[in-house]
Structure 1
């Protein structure tokens, strides 16, 4: 199988790198193999002092070093919900460049976390359990729920959130109003498939009543610019609560904190017939 690389998009926040490293270590122990945490970008801006003295690893220089050392087989496990541009454009282009410099080698790509059209039912279970835990902690029954993610200009990535929202809605039942929202979207109408901004959804729900709390189901893997302590979502929620006295917004834990994610990644690692060559 060669080198196993757990790949995310990358973040400028040290907490995201620590989370990635923790997942790689847990997965490696689970599968009795070495799993290396790597990122596509951004992490090289984080001082090593914030990362226990060990600089974060970018994918391209890691592949360069291992190819120069004579290694020729790699498997990438995408820590990504859908098939985004990193998987369809960036990785194939990177592979082509490296073959020009280093000659032939094998790089295989495992399925993403929620490959469509079949999806991933365990992600629905994970999100439902995160919501249940959040509701228990808050001491309230969820009646208004928003499934929020980063947002994407690619319909096939937005379709992952829609797939999960449909199955989660079926699980929660008719007594729960479930909406979807994103943190980023392009303003043109041609990108309406991506969904409404979180701020917009919160305003609309606040206008219909402040006594019923809103629960945010976080479709984020690790803390970063949007999710986690001090992120944009926390700021937006605090602002909404201040603008609408009496409104309470509760957020679930991140996907990367739930043990079911390791189960899903272990399955992706073992699905050798579905590893596609780049």
Structure 2
């Protein structure tokens, strides 16, 4: 980000959780560039945390930006407004933390206003762009399966969250996806990669582990794992937590098929643009 850009009156931010995986940051930058091309103004990729631990040499010589330092720089340079497109499916802990940081900066720097677009799963739309992204990813897998076989069950898996509002958004996405796919699949089961212990977090059920066990017990012959994840990392990447969970339950590659990650969809910039347009 050059000095001239920093002194613009308004900035657009693509805000993600952050990662220590350089590939995730580089993929995020490509997404920010694609969004910039759609809206006709610069877009800064900023992470809530973690990404600043990656050496700059692993990021094409450009250090990752993190939210607290970015806000401080914008306030110092006189930027009046930051519009944020969150790369979050729901109001997660990291997004809540980011909003609190922004509110604290606004209290100190009265000239700086932060405006927030909706999450990727919106309560205000029906079968919109995200449903089309998810169904498109699943249809790509379905097209590789012999139509003579029984329809597969889809497991829509997210990380899992201590906040029920996040899980409600995931379940909302699952219901919309079921309406779009119809009889092409046996059903949609929303599940969590992991969850915290205690009854208070039972809203995360079923976990991916229990969803796989349930499918096996119910005689389901084939499962499609639909990722509610953006980019590869220690959870959704090759050999990551989700792969290990699947392998530990004995599902063969021909029985358990996986979709592409959402972050690589060519329609994701369109979705983010729609969120910014709705922001006004």
Cα offset, 1:28, TM superposition: 0.5
Alpha-carbon displacement from aligned partner over 1:114-170 (angstroms, at most 9, x marks no partner): 221535622111111100112224556642211101111111111111111112222
Distance 2:189 2:99 in 1: 35
Which residue number corresponds to residue 256 of structure 1?
263
Which residue number corresponds to residue 117 of structure 2?
110
Which residue number corresponds to residue 58 of structure 1?
66
Question: Would the aligned equivalents of 2:121 and 2:170 in 1 still touch at CA under 8 Å?
Answer: no
Distance 2:274 2:245 in 1: 36
Q: TM-score, normalised by structure 2?
A: 0.87
Alpha-carbon displacement from aligned partner over 1:20-46 (angstroms, at most 9, x marks no partner): 111101110122110000000111222
1:230 is aligned, of 220, 239, 257, to 239
Which residue number corresponds to residue 132 of structure 1?
139
Distance 2:81 2:253 in 1: 57
Which residue number corresponds to residue 50 of structure 2?
42
Please give the residue correspondences for 1:59-208 in structure 2 after superposition, counting only pairs within 5 Å.
59-87=67-95, 89-99=96-106, 101-118=108-125, 121-137=128-144, 142-174=151-183, 176-208=186-218
Structure 1 spans left out of the alignment, 5+ residues: 274-278
Structure 2 spans left out of the alignment, 5+ residues: 1-8
Distance 1:19 1:246 in 2: 27
Q: TM-score, normalised by structure 1?
A: 0.88
Which residue number corresponds to residue 270 of structure 1?
277
Distance 1:120 1:143 in 2: 21
Which residue number corresponds to residue 276 of structure 1?
none
| SS of equivalent to 2:143 | helix
CA distance 1:224–1:139, shift in 2 (3 Å): farther
| SS of equivalent to 1:74 | strand
